Amino acid sequence: MDEQLHERVRDVISSVPAGKVATYGDIAAVAGAPSPRLVGRILAEDGHDLPWHRILRANGTPAPHLAHRQLELLRAEGVLADGQKVNLRRYRWQV
């Protein structure tokens, strides 16, 4: 993978403010990544120091294996979910 792209993705994720969320697709679009899956891969492999919990799937839900912890962290920032889904119209980060 292109190291510059990798760093752009990390920079965009870092810029999502507390109390806001973005989708993997949002991050890919802003960073110029070819796919949202690449964003997920970067988070999985090199996202421990990033606000990973602010990145959701396109339908406003967290990845199932992260759901409990992710929603807990978002709740602490004032992002409330309806069940397992975050209202993207209300909480989505606008670049």
Domain ranges in the chain are: 3-90
Helix axes 36-46, 3-14, angle to 10 degrees: 80
Q: Which amino acid is at 12?
A: V
**Is pLDDT of 1 > 90?**
no
pLDDT tens figures, 31-85 = 999 999 999 999 999 999 999 999 999 999 998 999 999 999 999 999 999 999 9
Based on its alpha-carbon atoms, the radius of gyration of the chain, rounded to whole angstroms, reads: 12
CATH architecture of 3-90: Orthogonal Bundle (1.10)
Q: What is the Cα–Cα distance from 69 to 55, expressed in whole angstroms?
A: 13
